[in-house]
Structure 1
């Protein structure tokens, strides 16, 4: 007599799949931990290059930076010292040289006057309206030049540079040298304040990395800034004005946040490319075996039995019976169980509370679920019979 075939556990595959998914989750956790550790390691070597730099920053390599002209100056033998603090700038100017102020808008009049008085030659790039009025009294904005124009003056640096596309223009009061005329103003103003020579020019469209190679911009920048052997390039900060303005979000964020977020973003993109679904047309594939409908029904029944949730199984039975009876009673497919119960009571001539009790009952045990299914079948059969009885001959 042959031994009976072993009974296979239908849920063994489910257990194996859950274990495989659990291992996959732990793999993602490990990958995230590695990324975080790598980000923490890179913070030890995080540089200020991750932070956004100001316009015409001497170390800025972007289109708005001024690293190109600074390198040219250094190649010409000019010492360029970059500063960001007012006290540091004043201390560096004790050795003499030219002061370049990139954007004086954060500075108060007193703070700007302090650094200007410490220098013999001052070149202000991208001056604000108050800074222009302070350094060149009675000067004001006078439009914007967008086409090439010649020097129109005897300033040696402008004569050597030739034509430029100037950008902002300023009115030139009496006694102030104006070059590159634009309407009623000039793109370059130069005046003296005691022993200090002051030059005002819109360097954002002339001396930044993006525009330096155009026309005579580089020659003009070297002539105005590189006249001395030493240049102190000052990028003002908010703190130099002495105001109590609150710090910005960028100042509050630690320097390691940007590289860490970048690594996480790259890891997310890589994971999406690796595990993401590829969208495309649906492809019909043949199953390796034919699964009968009865087997599917029995398999789901076992799952519901194992889950021990008769209420959930009752919801499925109720939804199917309600949809079928709604169609036979002339109700919309999404009719609620109470509506179907009321219509069935009207069709059968039965009490409403009885049909409602059948359709809205929530079983708590398996035996109760079997009784509930039996009563549903009886109610549905009665509705069908009532429909057939009333069909006209």
Structure 2
């Protein structure tokens, strides 16, 4: 009976392994498919924070017909009458000639995510610059669409080419470029900072979006597809560059490795009951680390840990982006409290304790600073 039980346990073990691998494959496939099924950023049918459904709905309420083209042939069909505005993300798969051919079919063109090549080809040698801070920038130009908006969040900046009108200047670079040629306009702006569902309500972003995208009765929103590439300009794939025997050889090695793993794998035996490790409470771990710092007399290291935790909480209180620079957090705290910038920098970054008494005093200052920020944020929220 013992050999029968052993074989039965072995069979059950292999069955459990097969079921586990099948579950892992199903879960992995679901995650991969779900990742591809999600709408990309600036998708006009996406309600996510990076989507653009909000601006499409507003345009439709203003009488603009929005056509979503998810490949190049669909975009060309929608632009057949030559009276529509074309809005498009960067299309690296299109050659320069294909890019010119597609944009020539539209009355007006809006580059939503311009890259250097598209700017060079379509806007007379313009190029990319740096990035603007997350704050409103004045239009400072006579272009009606920008002037009516007044100010906007512009994100990525650009440098204009010859004959290109530029708006929203930041340190010699600009957030919007436009050029008029043969009776039509080509405009470029960072739509991720201006047109998404999350950024549209800020400052004059909505007015700028409606003015730029609503230039005609029909808007064709083109989302480039990898299938739109010009086949003649395709770079050879890895499979095309390798000899024909490489792929079968790799598959044979994989099969051999699996057979070797099964051959040398350990047999499944009965489960062995073991005592679990002792569970240690979080506060005991914290106290243990504190004692280690105290024994080592490492007050600066202990204060750095306190500062790191305090800055993380201040980040969330002030609505700053994750992993912000400590200096930027300190500047934001000083601006919110109206406090001396150098003193706030000293509390959050610069001051170094020499004794345990200095460490306790620094910890008290961190606690008081955080409490002041919480009170200021709470008071501001109540006032609003």
In the other structure, the counterpart of 1:281 is: 278
Count of residue pairs the alignment pairs up: 242
Deviation at 1:170, TM superposition (A): 2.4
Deviation at 1:32, TM superposition (A): 5.8
Counterparts of 1:259-270 in structure 2 under 5 Å? none
Equivalent of 2:92, from 95, 99, 105? 105
Structure 1 residue 70 corresponds to structure 2 residue 56? yes
2:109 and 2:161 map into 1 onto residues whose CA distance is 18
Counterparts of 1:332-343 in structure 2 under 5 Å? none
Structure 1 residue 245 corresponds to structure 2 residue 232? no
**1:142 touches 1:184 (CA, 8 Å); kept in 2?**
no
Equivalent of 1:114, from 58, 76, 101? 101
Equivalent of 2:169, from 178, 181, 190? 181
Deviation at 1:171, TM superposition (A): 2.9
3-state SS, counterpart of residue 192 of structure 1: strand
Distance 1:27 1:86, change over 3 A: closer
In the other structure, the counterpart of 1:83 is: 69
In the other structure, the counterpart of 2:45 is: 59
Deviation at 1:173, TM superposition (A): 4.3
Q: Unaligned stretches of 5+ in structure 2?
A: 240-272, 280-384
In the other structure, the counterpart of 1:138 is: 125
Q: Unaligned stretches of 5+ in structure 1?
A: 1-11, 250-275, 283-393
1:197 and 1:34 map into 2 onto residues whose CA distance is 55
2:146 and 2:274 map into 1 onto residues whose CA distance is 62
Structure 1 residue 196 corresponds to structure 2 residue 177? no
Distance 1:57 1:246, change over 3 A: farther
Distance 1:202 1:16, change over 3 A: same
Structure 1 residue 152 corresponds to structure 2 residue 140? yes
29-38 or 114-123, which deviates more? 29-38
2:86 and 2:127 map into 1 onto residues whose CA distance is 22
3-state SS, counterpart of residue 92 of structure 2: coil
3-state SS, counterpart of residue 90 of structure 1: helix
Equivalent of 2:111, from 105, 117, 124? 124
Rg bigger for which structure?
A: 1
Distance 1:161 1:20, change over 3 A: farther
3-state SS, counterpart of residue 94 of structure 1: coil
TM-score scaled by length of structure 1:
0.51
CA deviation map 1:5-24 (0-9, x unaligned): xxxxxxx7x67965884685
**2:125 touches 2:162 (CA, 8 Å); kept in 1?**
no
In the other structure, the counterpart of 2:197 is: 209
**2:59 touches 2:210 (CA, 8 Å); kept in 1?**
yes
Distance 1:205 1:116, change over 3 A: same
239-248 or 194-203, which deviates more? 239-248
**1:151 touches 1:159 (CA, 8 Å); kept in 2?**
yes
3-state SS, counterpart of residue 138 of structure 1: coil
Equivalent of 2:156, from 152, 162, 168? 168
